[in-house]
Chain A
């Protein structure tokens, strides 16, 4: 069986339409994800609009170096993911595998950096509760949102890394051909996780710097 006939699934007449369909399905899923994250961003906006000064004080205690490194790591992972997608469509298997590996590695580097940041935050007791060190009390709202928003983002990224590793393994073993529509969905999801971070970065790390 040729790679093309293995890649093409019923009912699609050609790979272009099949890829479009996968992309469309992923965009539908992401529309629901946008609303999921929008609820968190909306909570942040409401609390911040009523506690401007407390949010400024609280945000100045976030670790901007870790946040900035992670921004660069995620943006670079979007670059390697896009090249993996292009390489897969061009049937460049080695390049696809290399770029998928690089993407997963950059995602893992993000999580390691995040772990170091979380450790520093915990050492400073920046967890809303009895020993929370900041004043006024509304600073705890910011830090509550910090843990929830960055935590949920990290869970999404972890899922993304898992999917990338599975797809890489399937390509490696030639269980599925690289030029199929699999990469389309994986790439769009990965970029979405990056997009969420693009908005988290200014709201979490840049507030209260000036």
Chain B
């Protein structure tokens, strides 16, 4: 297949949009860190980071178009991570 200039914009359009959103969210995280929200700072930072991870996984790691089996496996790590955090903190916070 020959590489025509017509092929290229289509390749870049979707990823460029996701990249722009990711940079924007990183900027939001950076900027908001300097505004004193108390304990709200870390919460906001982690929520924005989680949104960034979802954008990246959905649009750049192609989970949007992946089949159900791949999606299930992709969230497996997060699922067990929730158990790790829950069980660890149920110990430390109840001492």
Contact = CB atoms under 8 A, between A and B. Distances in A.
Contacts of A93: 3
Interface string B1-24: 101000110011001101100110
Contacts of A78: 19, 22, 56, 60
Contact of B73 (A31, A87, A92): A31
Interface in A84-121: 85-87, 90-95
Interface residues of B, number: 50
Contact of A206 (B1, B30, B67, B92): B30
A201 B49 contact: yes
B92 A201 contact: no
B92 A27 contact: no
Contacts of B67: 20
Interface of A (DSSP majority class): helix
Given A34-B78, A86-B15, A194-B56, A91 B49 contact: no
A82 to B, nearest CB: 4
A92 B37 contact: no
Contacts of B53: 195, 198-199
B94 interface: no
Closest 6 CB pairs of A and B: A34-B77, A202-B45, A31-B77, A206-B33, A79-B19, A38-B81
Contacts of B92: 46, 49-50
Contact of A198 (B11, B36, B42, B56): B56
A99 to B, nearest CB: 9
B60 A82 contact: yes
Interface of A: 20, 23-24, 27-28, 30-35, 38-39, 42, 45-46, 49-50, 64, 68, 71-72, 75-76, 78-79, 81-83, 85-87, 90-95, 187-188, 191-192, 194-195, 198-199, 201-203, 206-207, 209-210
